[in-house]
Amino acid sequence: MKLLTEALRAALVANAAASLAAEAREARYDPVPVLKLFNPIGAATWLATELYDDGDTLFGLADLGFGCPELGTFSLAEIAAVRLPFGLGIERDLAFSTTVALSVWADTARRAGSIPMAQQHLDRAAPDRAANDLSAD
């Protein structure tokens, strides 16, 4: 499976540029994850918001399944090189879409113990967020 489409690559690179620009202005930048990678037979999950200039280093939330998701960088090449039983490898979640900022994902994942558990919490909270957004009009 191709882990990065050109559209995803462009979005990740754009987020990296926006992050650098915000840093130069000493402003806070909290992008929405655009890529979710996962181990189809294990607990590892990654959410990425940025792709650095080297074309390999991603920034985002990494959860290796030990109960302590953390923000940081990870290598696309290393993730792509993982070989699992039954000829499987790390996969991209084709259905992944979110409007939730990375900081919220990180906080929720830390409290829940994993990215998949955080996703369940955030999905359950989504109707409440939508109702709050509507009531703000």
**What was the pLDDT predicted at 128?**
57
Task: Calculate ∠ Cα 14-15-17, nearest 5°.
Answer: 65
CA dihedral (86, 37, 79, 9) positive or negative: positive
Helix/strand/coil for 57: strand
CA dihedral (28, 44, 121, 10) positive or negative: positive
Whole-model pTM: value is: 0.90
pLDDT in tens, 74-114: 999 999 999 999 999 999 999 999 999 999 999 999 999 99
